[in-house]
Structure 1
Amino acid sequence: MGAQIEGRPVVVTGGGSGIGAALALEAANRGAGHVAVADVDLEAAGAVADSIVANGGSAAALRCDVTDTAGTEELAQAIAADHGVPGLVCANAGVMSALAPLLDTASSDVEWVVRVNILGTVNTLQSFGRLMAASSEQGWLMTTGSEHSVGVPHPNAGAYTASKHALLGLCDVLRAELPDHVGVSLVCPGLTSSLLWNSTRQRPDHLGGSADNDPGVGAFMEQMGMSAETVAQRAFDGLAEGHFLIPTHYHPRAYAEQRASDMAEAYDRLSKIDTADYDLNRTFAQFLEQLAD
């Protein structure tokens, strides 16, 4: 069974634009009892919330910087107090620095991308995940990854690719740790028509400050990308079915298969040298069994 959101609160971080805005609107369309649209840009979040309310739904805009651990925890507690433990939390907030070769990328840009895309996601999953794990109600945690999560190498976006690849590992571990009534999904969109290309306009001063990226990149994304609405629909279809990995574009399959082929070849080479069993998960489980005895 997948995510159940009808009549339940839904939270979307980075909900002020792009995929986040589309996720918030789709949640309302599918019967969410209340949609909390959280974004560092309160005005943008407000426009999305107003649209939901204008169409008969319940929504509120909330300012949230997911890199602020205490602030994200306060957000989770406030939403739970006002509307109950969410049925779905979309850890969607993410940024991309200006395109540049990795060797030429400023360390402050790498730090910014890692802080938002990884630390911000961890903050969101922890703050809401604890509430869900302690509740008896079914809940679902959905993270917005990327085609980069499954092996797409994107020249000139090294920090972004690394951050999205990390989310696959993060969510894979989390789904093994949570109780059965809390589900985990990783949505893996490809090129999407959104404002991700210009997310540096929200970059904090101590990491380089606000800046506008090349509008040509934005025009390309707007023209060539899948609509955010289609991405959101496919994400919610996958959530309803309870899938862990939810790709929205087909072409990354070729990259994933190449990655799998490279790994199989590497282990085939190793098999000629050593096949000893050092499986940590299995040996650690045996160790715990011995302790229990």
Structure 2
Amino acid sequence: MQDFKNKVVVITGGATGIGFSFAKQFGADGAKLVIASRRKDRVDEAVSALKELGFEAAGTAGDVSKRADVEALADFAWSTFGKADVLLNNAGVAQGKRGPVMSLDLEEFDTVLGINVYGTLYGIQVFGPRFVEQGTPAAIYNVGSENSFFPAVPGSSAYISSKHSVLAITEQLAEEVPDFIDVSLICPGYVQSEMTAGNPGGMPTDEFTALTLKQLKAGELYVVSHAYNMVHINKRYEALRKAFETYAPRYEGDDEYDVGCMIEKMMAARAAKG
């Protein structure tokens, strides 16, 4: 989507932090804004602030871990502006109780996945079919993390698992949607937000979202920011490369057991049979 002028952009977790910064970026590009968050008072404050900046904005409270609330958000967007064009699945939580995997609090795991993973899925499943039915250019942007690619935060296996899941969901979604729907995975590293409040450093929020918006306009699948991430990513893939070269090196005809190639061959055989 090359620009967002007159597009209706729905942002979950949009009342504070990264979500609110995104709202300002989209608004400055001419978008109409719908923001949602669990706290009605913060939603009202954010909507007022956006209107003071000259943006057309509306908001509603809701919990993305509840499908009914996401359905209500979609209804609110369509009743307010007559449509929606962009969904930014931004709502997320950090892991509160950190610790080793062997002693991980599974209730904590369920809470984190309920918002970070199911909240993303509900957004996709509620807004996606409406976008398809509209048949006009649309976009679904999911906020992952540098933790989608490697463990960045010690003792946070629930959070890391949730962001790995968002990566997988986003890549699969990108293969399934019609061409008129853009899909992107936004991968922030350490960015200043309410989630990181009280901790020093971090990329300034508006700097991060400005960099992100350029990539969304370019239609990038992976939307990136923190350059040093490549050190960790290369470490993972170097270990994988070494393992394959040692124990499963390439050979002529090695697609014989590749599931993707096998599926293609089966589909081609079925098509040939009519």
When normalised by structure 2's length, the TM-score is 0.92
Offset at residue 116 of structure 1 (A): 0.5
Displaced runs of 4+ in structure 1, greater than 6 A? none
What is aligned with 2:50?
52
Give the aligned CA root-mean-square deviation in angstroms.
1.8
Offset at residue 282 of structure 1 (A): 2.5
2: distance between equivalents of 1:250 and 1:99? 29
What is aligned with 1:277?
256
Offset at residue 269 of structure 1 (A): 2.3
Secondary structure in 2 aligned to 1:224?
A: coil
Q: Per the alignment, do residues 3 and 273 of structure 1 end up closer, same or farther by CA in structure 2, a change over 3 Å counting?
A: closer
Would you say the 8 A contact 1:4–1:138 is kept in 2? no
When normalised by structure 1's length, the TM-score is 0.86
The yes-or-no answer on 1:178 pairing with 2:177 is yes
The percent of aligned pairs where both chains have the same amino acid is 24
Q: What one-letter code is carried by the residue in structure 1 that aligns with 2:33?
A: V
Q: What one-letter code is carried by the residue in structure 2 that aligns with 1:282?
A: C
2: distance between equivalents of 1:273 and 1:149? 27
Q: What one-letter code is carried by the residue in structure 1 that aligns with 2:161?
A: A
1: distance between equivalents of 2:192 and 2:103? 26
Offset at residue 99 of structure 1 (A): 5.0
Would you say the 8 A contact 1:3–1:87 is kept in 2? no
Offset at residue 77 of structure 1 (A): 3.1
Q: Per the alignment, do residues 273 and 136 of structure 1 end up closer, same or farther by CA in structure 2, a change over 3 Å counting?
A: closer
Of the structure 1 ranges 279-288 and 244-253, higher mean CA displacement relative to structure 2 is found in 279-288
1: distance between equivalents of 2:37 and 2:145? 19
What is aligned with 1:224?
201
The yes-or-no answer on 1:14 pairing with 2:27 is no
Would you say the 8 A contact 2:149–2:233 is kept in 1? yes
Q: What one-letter code is carried by the residue in structure 1 that aligns with 2:260?
A: N
Secondary structure in 2 aligned to 1:101?
A: coil
Offset at residue 227 of structure 1 (A): 1.4
2: distance between equivalents of 1:70 and 1:162? 25
What is aligned with 2:78?
80
Q: Per the alignment, do residues 78 and 61 of structure 1 end up closer, same or farther by CA in structure 2, a change over 3 Å counting?
A: closer
Q: What one-letter code is carried by the residue in structure 2 that aligns with 1:237?
A: K
Of the structure 1 ranges 171-180 and 91-100, higher mean CA displacement relative to structure 2 is found in 91-100
What is aligned with 2:136?
137
What is aligned with 1:4?
3
What is aligned with 1:208?
none
Which of 266, 271, 274 is equivalent to 1:287?
266
Would you say the 8 A contact 2:187–2:225 is kept in 1? yes
Offset at residue 80 of structure 1 (A): 2.3
2: distance between equivalents of 1:258 and 1:135? 43
1: distance between equivalents of 2:250 and 2:24? 55
Q: Per the alignment, do residues 153 and 291 of structure 1 end up closer, same or farther by CA in structure 2, a change over 3 Å counting?
A: same
What is aligned with 2:157?
158
Q: What one-letter code is carried by the residue in structure 2 that aligns with 1:76?
A: A
CA deviations 1:134-157 (Å, max 9, x no partner) are 222101111111111122442121
The yes-or-no answer on 1:235 pairing with 2:234 is no
2: distance between equivalents of 1:144 and 1:4? 19
Q: How many residues align?
A: 269
Offset at residue 50 of structure 1 (A): 0.8
What is aligned with 1:248?
225
Gaps of at least 5 residues in structure 1 are 198-217
Aligned runs of 1:41-120 on 2, under 5 Å?
41-102=39-100, 103-120=102-119
Offset at residue 3 of structure 1 (A): 4.7
Offset at residue 125 of structure 1 (A): 1.4
What is aligned with 2:146?
147
What is aligned with 1:213?
none
Gaps of at least 5 residues in structure 2 are none
